Chain A
Amino acid sequence: MLKYVIRRLAATAVILTLVSMSVFVIFSVLPMDPARLTCGKACYPAVVEANRHRLGLDVPVHVQYGRFVKGLVAGREYGEGSARFECPAPAFGYSFNRHACVTDLIKEAFPVTFSLAIGAFVLWLAMGISLGVVAARKKGQWQDRASTVFVLVGTSLPTFISGLLILLFVALQFGLLNPLDMGRWVSPLDDPFKWFNIFIFPWATLALASAASYTRFTRSNVLETTNEDYIRTARAKGLSERVILRKHTLRAALAPIVTLAGLDFAGLLGGAIITEGIYNLPGLGRLSIRAVLQDYDLPVIVATTILAASFVVIMNLVVDIAYAYIDPRVRVQ
Chain B
Amino acid sequence: MKNFLEVNNLNVAFPTEDGLVRATNEVSFSVARGETLAVVGESGSGKSVSSLAVMGLHNRKTAQITGSAILNLESGPVDVISADEEVVRRMRGKEMAMIFQDPMSALHPYYSIGDQLSEAWRLYNDGSKADGIKRATEMLDLVGIPNATKRVTEFPHQFSGGMRQRVMIAMALINNPSLLIADEPTTALDVTVQAQILKLIRDLQIEFNMAVILITHDLGVVAEVADRVNVMYAGRIVEQAKIDDAFYSPDHPYTIGLLQSIPRVGKQQRLHAIPGQPPSLINLPDGCSFRTRCEYSSQVSGNLCATKMPVLQEKVAGHLSRCHLEESQLKKAREAVN
Contacts and interface: CB of A to CB of B under 8 A. Distances in A.
Nearest to A328: B155
A327 B119 contact: no
Contact of A233 (B112, B123, B124, B168): B168
Nearest to A241: B89
B105 to A, nearest CB: 4
Given A235-B57, A238-B94, A238-B123, A248 B100 contact: no
A233 B106 contact: yes
A236 B55 contact: yes
A230 interface: yes
Contacts of B112: 328
A234 interface: yes
Majority DSSP secondary structure for residues of A touching B: helix
Contacts of B107: 230, 233
Given A237-B171, A252-B108, A252-B110, A229 B100 contact: yes
Nearest to A233: B106
A328 B156 CA distance: 9
Q: Which has the most chain A C-beta neighbours within 10 Å: B90, B97, B106, B172?
A: B106
B91 interface: yes
Contacts of B202: none
B177 to A, nearest CB: 10
Nearest to B171: A237
A61 interface: no
B151 interface: no
B108 A234 contact: yes
B86 to A, nearest CB: 8
B29 to A, nearest CB: 20
User: Which of A229, A236, A239, A326 gathers the greatest number of chain B CB atoms within 10 Å?
Assistant: A236
Interface in A226-248: 228-230, 232-240, 248
Contacts of B124: 238
Sorting the interface of chain B by its residue count into under 10, 10 to 19, 20 to 34 or 35 or more gives 20 to 34
B108 A240 contact: no
A329 interface: yes
Contacts of A328: 109-110, 112, 155, 157
Given A229-B102, A329-B155, A236 B109 contact: no
A255 interface: yes
B252 interface: no
Contacts of B171: 233, 237
Given A230-B106, A233-B107, A233-B108, A239 B123 contact: yes
Interface string B92-132: 11100110101001111111100000011001100000000
A238 B155 contact: no
Interface of A: 228-230, 232-240, 248, 251-252, 255, 326-329
Given A236-B100, A237-B92, 18 more contacts: A229-B100, A229-B102, A229-B105, A230-B105, A233-B171, A235-B57, A237-B93, A237-B119, A237-B171, A238-B92, A238-B120, A238-B123, A238-B124, A239-B119, A240-B89, A328-B110, A328-B157, A329-B157
Top 3 nearest A-B pairs (CB, nearest first) are A238-B93, A238-B92, A229-B105
